[in-house]
Amino acid sequence: MSNWKIGVITASDSIAKGEREDDRIGVLRQLSQEFLQADVSVYRTVPDDMEELKEQMIELVDREKCDLLIVTGGTSLSPRDVTPEVTSWVIDRPVPGFAEEMRRAGLQQSRRAMLTRAVAGTRGNSLILNLPGSPKGVDICLRAIADMIPDALHILQGREQTREEWGGYGW
């Protein structure tokens, strides 16, 4: 079991109101175990509201000290989809390769994947990822990048553990 603390925020008006179940948290819990050998430590649901989402993201990274924060939902084109904007406010530095790889993997399944506006970045030594709001999208996107999440966390946290097959730091 890794010692990473994983936080998940589901951004959805209907889930936050209790009108429907969060059908993606189970997928995230399973994939976190499978690929990161870690449990989801903190889980929150929030409506698609900029201020509330921003407050919760900062809470989970700065005060709860999550190493990895995954925010699902709110990444498409509807007027209430605000997750990428809020994430851009919260992060210190973008990590576009994660979002690019998730879109690439998604496009192999559906042309609609090009409509996602998901972003990824860092805040301090934490990694923040946006994932789609569907279980299938979560599965496809997290599987596409899961092998690089440990490397990103090791580098962010100053651990000298890199994998030789991609040449270590600076590839």
Segment 131-164, tens digit of pLDDT: 999 999 999 999 999 999 999 999 999 985 555 5
pLDDT at 93 > cutoff 70: yes
Segment 36-82, tens digit of pLDDT: 999 999 999 999 999 999 999 999 999 999 999 999 999 999 999 99
Spatial separation of the C-alpha atoms in residues 125 and 65, rounded to whole Å: 9
- Give the closest residue to 36 by CA, choosing from 65, 72, 13, 67: 67
Assess contact for 135 and 27: CB atoms under 8 A: yes
Entry pTM: 0.93
Tokens of 134: 């569907």
Q: Where are the domains of the chain?
A: 6-157
Segment 102-118, tens digit of pLDDT: 999 999 999 999 999 99
Residue type, 17: K
Q: How many CB atoms lie within 10 A of CB 99?
A: 23
pLDDT at 2 > cutoff 90: no
Domain 6-157 sits in CATH at: 3.40.980.10
